[in-house]
A and B are shown apart, each in its own frame.
Chain A
Amino acid sequence: MDVIDVIVKIITWPPLWQLVVLGLVAPLGVVVGILWFERKTAARVQRRFGPLHVSPRIGGAIQLIADLMRYAFQEIIIPKTVDKGVFLIAPLTALVLSIVPVVAVPFTSVSHYWPIPMEYSVLISLALSTISAIFIVLAGWASNNKFSIIGGMREAYMITAYELMIILAILSVSAMTTSYNFVDVVLAQTGGKWFIILNPLAFLAAFISVLMATSGFPFEIPESENEVVAGPFTEYSGLLYGVNMGAAYIKRFVYSIFITLAFLGGWLPYGPGDGFISGYLIPSLVIIVKATILMAVFSFLRAVYGRYRLDQALDFAWKLLFPLALMGFGLGLLEAYIGLIG
């Protein structure tokens, strides 16, 4: 066994592969593309050019890399008034915790390539995904700035609005398949019976609550520039600010993967075979492509909607989204009862 084999072995070791490659590198690549897409489509709608000056030949596609470099080389200013330890730790922890749920989901049906046993993967991944928001509240609190605190409080309010709805909406697929295993959920969708078709209510509930969870329009409330500057991230600068923004996008990417697995058929219609490429790489790519399309839809809404008021968003969540999620859950149960799901 020579060195290259060892390196390949290490990289393709499922926990590392999923955490680093699928959790960190893939989102970064996707985010570069998605942000470019977001800015270009918004520009198209708004009759502008969008990013152009960095790499004019490919339509400014690497604009975000230039932005990232700027963030990376900018001085990180830590104001005297902040709670230094928490101020530094909060965004980094939020970043790590938003990646972690990737480890708890399967990217293939071949059990050899699962990082952890997948019996309860729906529950575990959902539970892990809910932790990172606390650190955004914490970042706002540690900043000791009125706008940050208001922004953090808004984030806390929004957690009460979206968390239950996401869990309910995604758990409705468990009700349909009577399994907490994402692999079973995906395999139940074979033959074009994607759960987005069988249970559109739960999909809609999941879609909207993910929009809320990741501050997408029309729910871009915690970071609403016109009232609270940058919300919890007002005092952050340089790379730490970039980390905050990156965490938000990774979170959206992770939720997109959940929705892809639960409603969009995961790696289907591809059937994973043997070996690394057929059994692991291609299924992961299929999932990432589906998640990317979902993210593109998320980001297009920016050009269409304004933002709701905080109390209106909470109203919307509890008066419309909660019944919708319950109905999706009920529909799932009904379909399982009449045997629609094989």
Chain B
Amino acid sequence: MSGFVSTRGQVGFNDLKIPGAWSRKIGKDLYEVFIGPQHPGSGHMRIIIRIDGDVIVEADPDMGYVHRTMEKLGEGREWIKGIPLYERMAIHDACNVTLPYVRAVEQLLGIEAPLRAKYLRVLLCEINRIAAYLYGFGIFGVFVGHSTMYMWPFGDREVWIELADWLTGARLTHSYPVFGGVRRDVPADFTNQLRKAIRYMRKRLEEYRKIYVDNPVIRARLEDVGVIPKNLAIELGITGPNLRASGVLYDVRYNDPYEVYDELDFEIPVFQEGDALARVWQRVEEIKQSLRILEQVADWLDKHPREPILHDRFWKTAPPLHKKIFETEGRAKLVPLYALLKVPKGKAYARAETARGEITYYVESDGGQKPYRVRIVSASARNAIVFKYILPGHRVMDLPTIYGSIDYFPPEADR
């Protein structure tokens, strides 16, 4: 309930001028329901809805339940420790989420990763993107009550997580890109297994279409539900697949290519409808494009011989034993220099396209061993506002549909 208004002269919540404790008057016949944050249909977030009969008239997304003061924590740690910290925003999308941080610091250091490291970063970024989309599909599937679509993507996601595990040594929080390069080179048979996974995924996407996207019940639930018109999408500043499903061609990989995306051949799918079904199709098509990118990366990795995957500035300080391990096993251990790294004074800004949209890092250094300020604007934080504008007018049962189709991820938004 929204607090109480005193009728007998005692001090009510309204008289106490505590922010957040003011009660709101709601309409006469409205029923206020708090969905979340401990609710199977909301994730770690609260959506306060007011319903008239079965129709939502007002929706109020209430973020911040899993806020972890990530930006402040970052100010107290050495530069390199920022990477494992920030990837906790979206652990299944770890490479995409931390890449702009790494690139911003590289700008401050004035270095650039070797070409092979850039390809490896793109490799993991796309693996992460596919895994994150599949995760979103699974959650969406269970939200509309489709238990098979819950299990299938989660099972197929395992393929990509295993690949990432093989490549980086960790299933989720990879901490793969480091300043000036990446942590490891690909294992010997990796590209062949990758191609196998790509073939498998293409086959599975077709099966998803049959049982889920073209399922009459699911189509009835998704079509014309949660429509974000193009102008509203631009006005609210939402990003990522949700923006592209509303007909706006905007993808950081395309508009502001980073790493080696400008050398790769891929398309940015755009859908015009802007409804929940279009957002599902958008992700399906983007997985196909990611598979295309991965194929090209695999070809490139096959054709080019191994070379150092760290910038010379770091690599030359590596002890001989590390170099020997790298030559024999392809693993590069973190060189001791990272622990005491001092980043020159300055400000840098970098962005990347994560699975949920554009993520922006603003990094400021005062020349010390720790960042002066790291400001993060994550994609989910920008997408959260959309609930306020598109939920009203829909039925209560549309709430999970819309929530799932936006692929909102509270830990990423709350930081």
With a cutoff of 8 Å between Cβ atoms, the chain B residues found around residue A305 in the complex are: 145-146, 215, 217
Whether the Cβ atoms of B211 and A304 lie closer than 8 Å is yes
| Interface positions of A from 274 to 313, Cβ below 8 Å from B | 302-312
Q: Nearest-CB distance from B51 to chain A (Å)?
A: 8
Q: Nearest-CB distance from B407 to chain A (Å)?
A: 15
With a cutoff of 8 Å between Cβ atoms, the chain A residues found around residue B54 in the complex are: 310-311
Number of A-B contacts (CB under 8 A): 81
Give B156's nearest chain A residue, CB to CB: A47
Whether the Cβ atoms of B145 and A303 lie closer than 8 Å is no
Q: Nearest-CB distance from B277 to chain A (Å)?
A: 13
List residues of chain A with CB under 8 Å of any chain B CB: 42, 45-48, 146-147, 150, 217-218, 220-221, 224-227, 229, 302-312
| Interface positions of B from 267 to 289, Cβ below 8 Å from A | none
Cβ-based interface call for B190 (8 A): no
Whether the Cβ atoms of A226 and B220 lie closer than 8 Å is no
Please report the C-alpha to C-alpha distance between residue A15 and residue B220 in the assembled complex, in whole angstroms.
46
With a cutoff of 8 Å between Cβ atoms, the chain B residues found around residue A302 in the complex are: 147
Whether the Cβ atoms of A308 and B147 lie closer than 8 Å is no
Please report the C-alpha to C-alpha distance between residue A226 and residue B54 in the assembled complex, in whole angstroms.
15
Q: Nearest-CB distance from B134 to chain A (Å)?
A: 14
Q: Nearest-CB distance from A62 to chain B (Å)?
A: 22
Q: Nearest-CB distance from B241 to chain A (Å)?
A: 21
With a cutoff of 8 Å between Cβ atoms, the chain A residues found around residue B142 in the complex are: 226
Whether the Cβ atoms of A226 and B400 lie closer than 8 Å is yes
With a cutoff of 8 Å between Cβ atoms, the chain B residues found around residue A146 in the complex are: 31, 33
Whether the Cβ atoms of A307 and B217 lie closer than 8 Å is yes
Partner of B145, one of A45, A147, A150, A218: A218
| Interface positions of B from 143 to 177, Cβ below 8 Å from A | 143-152, 155
| Interface positions of B from 371 to 415, Cβ below 8 Å from A | 395-400
Whether the Cβ atoms of B39 and A220 lie closer than 8 Å is no
Whether the Cβ atoms of A309 and B397 lie closer than 8 Å is yes
Whether the Cβ atoms of A306 and B151 lie closer than 8 Å is no
Whether the Cβ atoms of A304 and B396 lie closer than 8 Å is no
Whether the Cβ atoms of B221 and A226 lie closer than 8 Å is no
Please report the C-alpha to C-alpha distance between residue A225 and residue B400 in the assembled complex, in whole angstroms.
10
Please report the C-alpha to C-alpha distance between residue A224 and residue B215 in the assembled complex, in whole angstroms.
19
Q: Nearest-CB distance from A37 to chain B (Å)?
A: 15
Q: Nearest-CB distance from B79 to chain A (Å)?
A: 42
Whether the Cβ atoms of A307 and B396 lie closer than 8 Å is no
Partner of B40, one of A225, A303, A308: A225
With A46-B147, A47-B155, A48-B151: A306-B40 Cβ-Cβ less than 8 Å: no
Give A306's nearest chain B residue, CB to CB: B146
With a cutoff of 8 Å between Cβ atoms, the chain B residues found around residue A45 in the complex are: 148
Give A312's nearest chain B residue, CB to CB: B220
Whether the Cβ atoms of B147 and A42 lie closer than 8 Å is yes
| Interface positions of B from 188 to 204, Cβ below 8 Å from A | none
Give A217's nearest chain B residue, CB to CB: B145
With a cutoff of 8 Å between Cβ atoms, the chain A residues found around residue B180 in the complex are: none
Please report the C-alpha to C-alpha distance between residue A217 and residue B148 in the assembled complex, in whole angstroms.
12
Whether the Cβ atoms of A218 and B147 lie closer than 8 Å is no
With A305-B217, A310-B395: A47-B152 Cβ-Cβ less than 8 Å: yes
With a cutoff of 8 Å between Cβ atoms, the chain A residues found around residue B232 in the complex are: none
Whether the Cβ atoms of B397 and A224 lie closer than 8 Å is yes
Can you name 19 A-B pairs with beta carbons within 8 Å? A46-B152, A46-B155, A48-B155, A150-B33, A220-B145, A221-B397, A224-B397, A225-B40, A226-B143, A302-B147, A303-B148, A305-B215, A306-B141, A306-B144, A308-B220, A309-B397, A309-B398, A311-B395, A312-B220
Whether the Cβ atoms of A226 and B33 lie closer than 8 Å is no
Please report the C-alpha to C-alpha distance between residue A47 and residue B217 in the assembled complex, in whole angstroms.
22
Of all A-B residue pairs in the complex, the 6 with the closest CB atoms, nearest first, are A226-B41, A307-B145, A46-B151, A306-B146, A226-B400, A306-B144
Please report the C-alpha to C-alpha distance between residue A220 and residue B151 in the assembled complex, in whole angstroms.
19
With a cutoff of 8 Å between Cβ atoms, the chain A residues found around residue B215 in the complex are: 304-306
Q: Nearest-CB distance from A146 to chain B (Å)?
A: 5
With a cutoff of 8 Å between Cβ atoms, the chain A residues found around residue B145 in the complex are: 217-218, 220, 224, 226, 305-307
Whether the Cβ atoms of B396 and A150 lie closer than 8 Å is yes
Give A47's nearest chain B residue, CB to CB: B155
Give B142's nearest chain A residue, CB to CB: A226
Cβ-based interface call for B218 (8 A): yes
Most chain A beta-carbon neighbours within 10 Å: one of B40, B149, B155: B40
Q: Nearest-CB distance from B140 to chain A (Å)?
A: 10
Whether the Cβ atoms of A218 and B217 lie closer than 8 Å is yes
8 additional contacts, CB 8 Å, given A48-B155, A306-B145, A308-B221? Answer: A46-B147, A146-B31, A220-B145, A225-B40, A226-B144, A227-B35, A302-B147, A309-B398
Partner of A227, one of B149, B150, B221, B400: B400
Give A302's nearest chain B residue, CB to CB: B147
Give B140's nearest chain A residue, CB to CB: A306
Please report the C-alpha to C-alpha distance between residue A220 and residue B215 in the assembled complex, in whole angstroms.
16
With a cutoff of 8 Å between Cβ atoms, the chain A residues found around residue B150 in the complex are: 46
Q: Nearest-CB distance from A251 to chain B (Å)?
A: 20
Whether the Cβ atoms of B399 and A306 lie closer than 8 Å is no
Partner of B399, one of A42, A147, A221, A227: A227
Give A218's nearest chain B residue, CB to CB: B217
With a cutoff of 8 Å between Cβ atoms, the chain A residues found around residue B218 in the complex are: 306
With a cutoff of 8 Å between Cβ atoms, the chain A residues found around residue B221 in the complex are: 306-309, 312
Please report the C-alpha to C-alpha distance between residue A55 and residue B35 in the assembled complex, in whole angstroms.
39
Partner of B397, one of A47, A48, A310: A310
Please report the C-alpha to C-alpha distance between residue A308 and residue B397 in the assembled complex, in whole angstroms.
9
Please report the C-alpha to C-alpha distance between residue A312 and residue B222 in the assembled complex, in whole angstroms.
12
Give A315's nearest chain B residue, CB to CB: B220
With a cutoff of 8 Å between Cβ atoms, the chain B residues found around residue A48 in the complex are: 151, 155
Please report the C-alpha to C-alpha distance between residue A311 and residue B397 in the assembled complex, in whole angstroms.
9
Whether the Cβ atoms of B144 and A307 lie closer than 8 Å is yes
Please report the C-alpha to C-alpha distance between residue A307 and residue B400 in the assembled complex, in whole angstroms.
12
Please report the C-alpha to C-alpha distance between residue A217 and residue B144 in the assembled complex, in whole angstroms.
11
Give per-residue flags for B23-44: 1 if the beta carbon is below 8 A from chain A beta carbons, else 0: 0000000010101000111000
Q: Nearest-CB distance from B80 to chain A (Å)?
A: 40
Give B33's nearest chain A residue, CB to CB: A146
